[in-house]
A and B are shown apart, each in its own frame.
Chain A
Amino acid sequence: MEFSELIRTGRAQAELLRGPGAPPLRGTLCVTGHHLLLSPGPQATSDLWLLLLRSVDSIEKRVAGDSGTITLRCKDLRVLQLDIEGVEATLDIARSIEALSSLESVITSFPFFYRPKGLRLGDAWHFHPPEHHYKRVARETNAWRLSEVNEDFSVCPSYPRAVIVPRAVDDDALARSARFRQGGRFPVLSYHHAPSGTVLLRSSQPLTGPQKRRCAEDEELLRAVLAGARPGARGFIVDTRSAQAAKQARMTGGGTEAKAAYPGWKRLHRPMERGRPLQESFVRLVEACGDLEQSMDRWLSRLEGCRWLAHVKEALSTACLAAQGMEREGACILVHGAEGTDSTLLVTSLAQLILDPLSRTMTGFQELVEREWIQAGHPFQLRCAHSAFSHARPKHEAPTFLLFLDCVWQLGRQFPLSLEFGEGLLLALFEHAYASPFGTFLCNSEKERCLCEVRTRTHSLWSGLNQPKEQRKLRNPLYVLNPLAIWPSVEPQSLRLWQGLFLRWTRPPEPSEAAWEKVWQIVTDKEKTEGSQPTVSASEPQP
């Protein structure tokens, strides 16, 4: 196998320091094609320690005397230190890790080799097809149809095969509208809000350009949206850029919907940070959280200076805006920024969580992530190529998805009973989005996933997560169905640093885990006591 060329050394003796709380491990260190292994000596009883090389974000080596130290900063924000015997061995191992962790080829990545016990290939890949979502919409309204205009990904390379569009618009018109939108992302249905009979749409920016071009089919499409909604419905276009940025985009061929061309639609600008500033904010925050030297009396202003919580606030308030437009104003909402693959998805997915109780269930949320992020063409491979530790200048990296998870965590904190899943699921999604043995977050679009045969040759994360043994970590034991919209408070003092993620490896995790375990116990004890005749063996004493 080609990996062997990249592996400089077979093995070395090493000691692994895993940060506070975890005891150091000693043993034989070994680099394989996808993993770093540490097998403890024969006298030790503990298991093999295993690290997916893909999850290494940055590596730092230091040699002194006849030994060396490698510091691995992982994409899940863990920092590991390896003390290795032998200078050569240290350098070789460091070089091997460097080379193997930055391989770009998708089809040689670990998910294509990962064959866990108890899971079958192809399981769960059929869980959330567009047809599924369409069925729900069709039960609620007749105004929409499932179009396969993009069956071969030629109309829009970043859209899935099938999308939901107004029934009144035919495929030819869609194709023409696609030519008028950046990357072919013509307006499609994201969510139908049955209680108010309104819809949430997303797209990319229209290519009006400096000449202020128009496209009859695109205009017709949005007209058809209003006609299909409740009578008299108006529309709001939530542009996630500032008015000025939208105007400037005309110079490079983009732009925004002209008022006159789209009667019934009104534009609102809600500038949201994206791309590099967002990535930099993430890097600064992780730096601040990991900086143990830092004099603590400046912590709060440093946290503020990172601006991460400001981004959380922006995202949640824009989502509230969209959700409120639908719920309280009975208006249809179209969300887009420029490409329509980042902040757009952030807003549409959060708005659904606020409004739709189904999306707050375990399956509903997985479906939401699958539909609004993965199938909707959020470029995971580009955005999550590196996490916060990489020294390389960020190219396309941006923690948009992490920002989404953080916002969901804030919702969960403010509504502790309303989400069926807990912090555990959000942490798992963060980890897997950046480095995973599963294929779910591979590639940038359905088209690429199709080319790489991801669906047939890798396992789905959803089948991994939905195994019974994982449930206790992922579910919220307090959950009760809340049929109402959940309006979060976005005041700065209502938003918190997500300690469970950003301080995960520096704080003693025990109390919160103990608490979680306790809650589970109480909830499941209920079932136990409600169960059949009590037996003495069932009486686990309270710790």
Chain B
Amino acid sequence: MKLSRKEQAESARNGDQTHLWEGVGKWEIVWTAETGQPRARPAFQDDLHRLRRYILPGSSMTSRDRPLDRSLYGSTTLRAPAPRAAALLRLRGFHSCYRSEKTNTKIPALLPGDHEISINPLHGSRSSISRFILNEENISLIPDTPEILNLSADFSTSTIHIKWNDKGSVFPHHSDVIWQIKILRKKKMEIVTLMTHNTTLNGKDTVHQWSWTSDMPLECVTHFVRMRCYVDDLHFSGHKEWSDWSPVKNISWSPDYQPKVIPKDKVILVGSDITVCCIIQEKVISAQFGKEMCSLIHLDGENVAIKIYNVSVSPTSGTNVVFTTDTNMVGTVIFAGYPPDIPQKLNCETRDLKEIICTWNPGRPTGLLGPHDTNYTLFENFSGQNVKRAEDTTNVNYQLFFQMIPNREIYNFTLKAHNPLGQSESTVLVNITERVYPHTPTSFKVKDINSTAVTLSWHLPGSFAKINLLCQIEITKSNSVQELQNVTVKGLENSSYLITVGKLSPYTNYTFRIRCSTETFWKWSSWTIEKQHLTTEAIPSKGPDTWREWSSDGRNLIIYWKPLPINEANGRILSYNVSCSSDEETQSLSEIPDRQHKAEIQLDKNDYIISVVAKNSVGSSPPSKIASMEIPNAPIVAPNFTVEDTSADSILVKWEDIPVEELRGFLRGYLFYFGKGERGTSKMRGLGSDRSDIKIKNITDISQKTLKIADLQGKTSYHLVLRAYTDGGIGPEKSMYVVTKENSVGLIIAILIPVAVAVIVGVVTSILCYRKREWIKETFYPDIPNPENCKALQFQKSVCEGNSALKTLEMNPCTPNNVEVLETRSVVPKIEDTEIISPVAEHPEDSSEAEPENHVVVSYCPPIIEEEIPNPVADEAGGTSQVIYIDVQSMYQPQAKPEEQENDSVGGSGYKPQMHLPVTSTVEDMTAEDDLDHTAGYRPQANVNTWNLVSPDSPRSTDSNSEIVSFGSPCSINSRQFLLPPKDEDSPKSSGGGWSFTNFFQNKPND
């Protein structure tokens, strides 16, 4: 008999059944007998091993022997019926007696094997002695009901902490224990969860603790906890059972009577689930999470909860949760965000070697602001110092400043980010002297040293005493290229720096700017603002270029000079000094202002040395000297000249000025020589040569720069020479050979005449040939009939191929082969038969190659040539055709004209006969009725045509044009011509010609 747990509990209350095990270490043996004796109830024997039954004295029970550690269980309680309390329990095996005043007693744990137990009432008859056999296998191990020592709750985290004692001391052996903890919720005790927790008994009383976190805030509803255990003792051979459930303990929260929404201002991870409850005395009408309306979960009383799954990121001020009643509105704010991302691109550098600036990128936004925003702390691991980022909501810069530690270069920074949802960190190890990003230099100044050198000075804050600075100077010369100079300067403590820049040009505008880095380059600073500077003046580097000229009356010497270029003036020229000195006297003109570049001095014709000096604010140039009487020289170069244009009889020449330096005097004019001559052969010898063919032109107008030479011969090489002359003489010559153009009109005539003659001859010849063509043909190309050429008559060959039509043209001469044609006739009926057998409907479009071939052969032969070739020939051919096709014609009744056929009119039957070959005269009617018939009669041709066109689908039946198309086939052409009535042949001009033409055109596509 197996009792359910509930029944067991009931029977335990009734008192007439007792657990054999009471507690962990005692046997309890019970006997019940209203009469004072245990009843003999054999039916219960089987149940003995279940340990929850009456003990029946005297019943015999067998069980296997099993070793039992005697020390394992302390005692066994044997219980006697209450009315007869006093009894003597005798264990036969031990020969021990236990006296009990109650109806139970405890006995020590049993050794393996059966033990006979007898219970003797102390005051009763002997007959009431009960005996039974007891074995461990008949005993169940039911641990004591555990008790929860302490149940506490952390409301902020919704966590319940449970503490209990495992009472391990009663178990001498180590055993595994399974604890089951049941959490219930609400007054109705709805099971929330049932969890298992494993521990081990170690022979001592141990207090265990276990925690559970609720998805619902603990404030919302009362939570209950109970537990039970199961001892898995390996040494115990009997049955093991769960203990009873412990008494429940609960966690509840007693709020004041203010409505409350829980949790308050909670920060949660995006994507998690959250339960929000409202503790309120009024009926809640609706609940809202952000914009969403939520369904209510009813808790005890009017309290309600809502559960939100997969919460998304909250807006700036958090997500509002609002519960509305008739008269009230309560709510809370939930902040859903992310834990801080790992700080990215953490970079530490210094601008002045005093303070380190660490910057980073916060990565993914946490979605949390204000008090929940991420806190950043920068730790320096070697020194243990740290700095925190100001918790200012307006602080949008992710940077922290760390004061440098004296004499330390290596820093190991860890940046820790922390918010209510978690933390992260990233680390960077830097040698700070290699991470210097200097400030922009200030107080940038340029000072002159001399006309070619300046000093640049600037201030750079920072403790750079231990390192060298690398600075870059950008020098921009006015309207010129930029130049970059790198300079290394020794670093200083918050100091100004000074460098010299040399190799500058005097009196030139320069733009300077500078930026700095360190020798171990990390980053350039920004450029300073640009400074413009004009270098100072220097004395002019040379005197001006000078000329002199006697005035026309020969009494005054006019001295000219060229203003100095800026790179030689080295400043602003203020004046010129001119002096003329001879052995006897010295005349000088001083302070001739700039802008005036000549001076006139009255001199006699003695030799004077004239010197000109340019002066600027710094000093005078070295003098440039010339003698007064110097004879002007001839030019040292010839003018460059080019030929601008040439024609058959003229040349246009253009030349350039000779540079003043090379003129060496005042230009008086040009001499231009020209004459026939070719390169290498002709030379003009001597100026003003006597040779009559050389002409000279003297150009005295020196402003003239072009010359047109006329009256030249065409296509002739001319030798041109140009020279310049001054008072000092004639300069060198420059020569050139030019070939005049040809006279084009003569050339054109020379070409045209032969062409015209040739054309005329050709035309005349052609006309003659045409007129006499017959004679020519007779003479040179007499027609010689060649039977072998008549391929059309060779039936074995495929005549219907594209070329065959052409060949048949030539076989015209094979007129005499009547005999063969007659043989063909014997073939024709066959074809007719075929046609009859396969009339219109059956093979409207089928094209078997065999059929057309036969047909074609028959129908071809003579006529084509007959049409194409002039009458005499045609006569012969016509005769042939007549002979051949007389019968056929009579059958077909051929008369048609092609137009008629095309029109599908009744008259068009001229071509029908072939089509209606098998049907004979009735065809006409049918034709009139239906095109289909038409086509059908003509099928062989049509078939051939279709076949040729490679379009079997072409609609022969419905469209009259399709028939025309069919004519286009080589077969049809020929056959058509056969169909011509004899009279056509007699008068070829009337319709025969037309026919042939039509055929010709229709034939074309197939060719």
Is B truly associated with A? Answer: no
Measured CB to CB, the residues of A under 8 A from B are none
Measured CB to CB, the residues of B under 8 A from A are none
